[in-house]
Structure 1
Amino acid sequence: MSTQPQAPVTVVPPMPTRRNAELLLLGFAAVITMVALLIVEANQEQGVGLDLLQYLIGYLALFAGAHIAVRRFAPYADPLLLPVVALLNGLGLVMIHRLDLAAQEISGGTDSSPTANQQMLWTLVGVIAFSLVIVFLTDHRMLARYGYVCGLTGLVLLVIPAILPSSMSEQNGAKIWIRLPGFSIQPAEFSKILLLIFFAAVLVSKRNVFTSAGKHVLGMNLPRPRDLAPLLAAWIASIGVMVFEKDLGTSLLLYASFLVLVYVATERISWVLLGLTLFAVGSVVAYFAFSHVQVRVQNWLDPFADPDGAGYQMVQSLFSFATGGIFGTGLGNGQPGTVPAASTDFIIAAIGEELGLVGFAGVLMLYTIVVIRGLRTAIAVRDSFGKLLAAGLASTLGIQLFIVVGGVTKLIPLTGLTTPWMSYGGSSLLANYVLLAILVRISHNARRPIDTKGPNPAPIASAGTEVISKV
């Protein structure tokens, strides 16, 4: 009886989930936030009171709960996304608390409505929403089924402020709010996520429309005229937001995000050039037709022409950056309260003053990490819809940051967008936590091991897998 040698059995170790690394980084973010808050209190000669302890305990409890949700329901998610956002949110809370102290000093202690408490409440709502999305969105490809519903809902949310009376929708010249008794919301923050889902779903299902080649001009394959309808629709929508809602930031953000997704899906620069040309033409026409666009551009070109009027906010922002210099005045030692809307649109100016160029660059680096990890997720995920959606979400964050920082530093005209996770505002904070949750869910699906023994994938899982070979 002959015996044949058996092949050795190879035991493949399980892929690490990196959740312990995420927990360690969350602890590091909590330490930085706590130290920053203590520095503010010390420089402002404030005692360590009950409010300070509530901030710290609430912050730790919230992100511990978010970590547990990720560990349980998305164990293979990117371990850097949540800790970096937690640090950005923590620094934002510290700066908003610092601005509350400045407001009380300016008002002589009569200002009794600290926005930091409200921002902490909205952080609670945002982290709960983040956890709920992680728990109930078991597969990001489920969103592709509702692409057109998301698109219609996103457009409706954009239109509602434009048709409401100014008393219910307008603030600082822009009609971007829905104001009800005891409640207000900025629907464009949620519209950007819904429209990104719609764009990704349409580009997967209608790839032929965007890849069909027309005339060959200057080394580029131009699209056929009959295939320009999606681009024209996005252009009309963005110009409509600029004209009727006077919201330059949202108009630019949505349109630029659409062009990024089209380029990722087709790898054709011709779509981007056509899109930018259309937007430039629309912007020039809007400049000569509408006074509010002229005011924004004139304040951008020369804010010192009216330093006590229309250009006051930009002038104070530039002074804040100049005062901060390289290393800043130190947390609690500057005068960030001199900039109007410092806790919302101009929180970057407050950071530039008290943390200086070094701290400002560090904050930008944190955002860069989130964007890069999001793009890496887009490269790693296996389905086309996930690639487009992850690339769109990450690119939108990068575009929004560019618009915000560019406007505050006078690189581009001021738009009024908020800084993600740092600026005061419930709508922005809640929407960006939902965006983060979707990105975390996609990263989990991208990094988890492939189950070769499992059942065949559902149609939604394999739909459109041939559309995009790379990002």
Structure 2
Amino acid sequence: MKIKMDEVKLLILTYLLCMALFVDIAILKEPMDIGAIYMGVVVCVFLTITQILIRKFYPQGDKFLITFACLLSVIGMAVLYRLDSSIAVKQLIWFTVGIIIFIALVAVIPDLRDFAKYKKVYLITTIVFMPMALVLGTEVYGATNWVFIGGMGFQPSEFGKISFVVYLASALKDYEDKNNIIEDFNQLWQPALVVMFSLGCLVMQKDLGSALIFFGIAITMLYVATGKKKYVAITFTLFVVGSFLAYKIFPHVRQRIMIWQNPWGYKDTGGYQIVQGLYSISSGGMFGSGLGEGYPGFVPVNTSDLIFAVICEEFGMVFGMGIMIIYFLFFYRGMRAAFRVQDKFSQLGTIGMSAMIACQVLVIIGGVFAVIPLTGITLPLISYGGSSMISMFFALAVLQKISEEG
């Protein structure tokens, strides 16, 4: 009963936050922007419909997952509306599509265990998606990771992440500790090649952020599947060697590292994003300048890559830390669902999806604070992006389904 009350309290707080943000945005403009209030109401309606459908027809699953996702999406759409109302409307459309995909997948998928046998399908899908941008891609902000078809653009790596996780889950589910290096090699060589192929494609596309995410997913799933630290150490060593070779071979990798080491020395060129993001965060302080009182226009790519800097400027570091806590709880609930199921495929799939979200958050926030080189990826469910929104709700549907099985 306590869990249900906690779910209700969190849902009420989500409604209050949604309306508070959009009403505040509305009254900041002269004359009052009624469209902002309408958008807040529409978002609340979608939240209500989603909660009713999930609770009525699928009462056994973890309801915190969808509520956390909606809470993050509300924050994202409000900030995007403050930056550019037209982009916020597009994000609302992608949010709606994501919700529909989430509900459809939860309703259609009978039992995830039945999908473990399609390893070759997942392998082919991964092999198709990962090099797609190299063949058909267009360079955007220095990375060739976008494909445009008929005026619509998408990032193949966003969908490649899903097939990559599911493939590794199906490939590693039958792993058995033979205490024999040769027999272990026979079980692991194929997924190892797929991991290296995927990372190689991403480095060639200059999509270093996604490469870090894929590596984080692979090493997490490998450790959970085998339980052997030596394999993690070997994988990490190979990654370090590969990174060193990439640094020596590819100029764009060297450039990213040099900018990361001294962004102020490149503040008028390649380091402009990092420097402006740090200025924005520092000007907000602990409690922010207030919604509508900051200067997000000085922050490049403020609707996607550096939206966290905008949030910290106007809402403060305390609010930013709160967002990070929500992501941590999201990751925790996913991992909790993984260890409540007995089926190895479902368990590895859940761990992979949870690691995917956690790695993406760490990579982009680490880049914004210059802890690691800044890479052009989205902050899950908050940054603008249709490909990212759809892939996240797909992952969320898998987590929801497995939480029901548990």
TM-score bracket, shorter-length normalisation: over 0.9
**2:21 aligned residue:** 36
Match of 1:150 among 122, 143, 152: 122
Match of 2:87 among 115, 123, 134: 115
Counterpart mapping for 1:187-266 below 5 A: 187-205=156-174, 207-208=175-176, 211-214=177-180, 229-230=189-190, 232-266=192-226
| Aligned partner letter, 1:174 | A
Match of 1:25 among 10, 14, 19: 10
Q: TM-score, normalised by structure 2?
A: 0.94
Measure, in 2, the Cα distance between the counterparts of 1:46 and 1:319: 31
Counterpart mapping for 1:278-357 below 5 A: 278-357=238-317
Measure, in 1, the Cα distance between the counterparts of 2:236 and 2:38: 48
**2:69 aligned residue:** 85
- % identical equivalent positions: 33
Larger radius of gyration: 1
- Verify the 8 A CA contact 2:22 2:39 in the aligned structure 1: no
3-state SS, counterpart of residue 153 of structure 2: strand
- Verify the 8 A CA contact 2:168 2:191 in the aligned structure 1: no
Report the alpha carbon displacement of residue 260 of structure 1 after superposing the two structures with TM: 0.5
**1:398 aligned residue:** 358
Unaligned runs of 5+ in 2: none
- Verify the 8 A CA contact 2:19 2:37 in the aligned structure 1: no
Q: Encode CA deviations 1:268-322: one digit per residue, 9 max, x unaligned.
A: 1111111111111111111111111111111111111121111111100110111
Establish whether residue 163 from structure 1 lines up as the match of residue 123 from structure 2. no
Measure, in 2, the Cα distance between the counterparts of 1:228 and 1:264: 14
Measure, in 1, the Cα distance between the counterparts of 2:31 and 2:189: 60
Report the alpha carbon displacement of residue 45 of structure 1 after superposing the two structures with TM: 4.6
Distance 1:331 1:146, change over 3 A: same
| Aligned partner letter, 1:132 | A
- Verify the 8 A CA contact 1:320 1:349 in the aligned structure 2: yes
Distance 1:271 1:181, change over 3 A: same
3-state SS, counterpart of residue 395 of structure 2: helix
Report the alpha carbon displacement of residue 141 of structure 1 after superposing the two structures with TM: 1.4
Answer with 28-37 or 339-348: which moved more: 28-37
- Verify the 8 A CA contact 1:320 1:352 in the aligned structure 2: yes
Report the alpha carbon displacement of residue 117 of structure 1 after superposing the two structures with TM: 1.0
**1:267 aligned residue:** 227
- Verify the 8 A CA contact 1:18 1:76 in the aligned structure 2: no
- Verify the 8 A CA contact 2:122 2:164 in the aligned structure 1: yes
Q: Encode CA deviations 1:85-129: one digit per residue, 9 max, x unaligned.
A: 11100000011111117xxxxxxxxxxxx2111111111111111
Measure, in 2, the Cα distance between the counterparts of 1:46 and 1:354: 22
- Verify the 8 A CA contact 2:291 2:315 in the aligned structure 1: yes
Matched length: 406
- Verify the 8 A CA contact 1:223 1:271 in the aligned structure 2: no
Q: Encode CA deviations 1:215-265: one digit per residue, 9 max, x unaligned.
A: 7xxxxxx98666652464144224412432111111121122011011011
Measure, in 2, the Cα distance between the counterparts of 1:68 and 1:151: 36
| Aligned partner letter, 1:135 | A
| Aligned partner letter, 1:57 | V
**1:105 aligned residue:** none
- Verify the 8 A CA contact 1:304 1:311 in the aligned structure 2: yes
Report the alpha carbon displacement of residue 415 of structure 1 after superposing the two structures with TM: 1.6
| Aligned partner letter, 2:360 | Q
Counterpart mapping for 1:420-439 below 5 A: 420-439=380-399
Answer with 141-150 or 335-344: which moved more: 141-150
Distance 1:224 1:204, change over 3 A: closer
Report the alpha carbon displacement of residue 214 of structure 1 after superposing the two structures with TM: 4.6
Distance 1:416 1:63, change over 3 A: same
3-state SS, counterpart of residue 131 of structure 2: helix
Q: Encode CA deviations 1:10-36: one digit per residue, 9 max, x unaligned.
A: xxxxxx796676455323202111112
Counterpart mapping for 1:439-458 below 5 A: 439-446=399-406
**Counting helix residues as a fraction of each chain, which structure ranks higher?**
2
Report the alpha carbon displacement of residue 160 of structure 1 after superposing the two structures with TM: 1.1
| Aligned partner letter, 2:160 | S
Distance 1:19 1:146, change over 3 A: farther
Distance 1:384 1:235, change over 3 A: closer
- Verify the 8 A CA contact 1:345 1:417 in the aligned structure 2: yes
| Aligned partner letter, 1:96 | L
Measure, in 1, the Cα distance between the counterparts of 2:6 and 2:198: 41
Q: TM-score, normalised by structure 1?
A: 0.82
Report the alpha carbon displacement of residue 417 of structure 1 after superposing the two structures with TM: 1.3
Report the alpha carbon displacement of residue 37 of structure 1 after superposing the two structures with TM: 2.0
- Verify the 8 A CA contact 1:19 1:75 in the aligned structure 2: no
**1:183 aligned residue:** 152
Measure, in 1, the Cα distance between the counterparts of 2:265 and 2:97: 43
- Verify the 8 A CA contact 2:260 2:370 in the aligned structure 1: yes
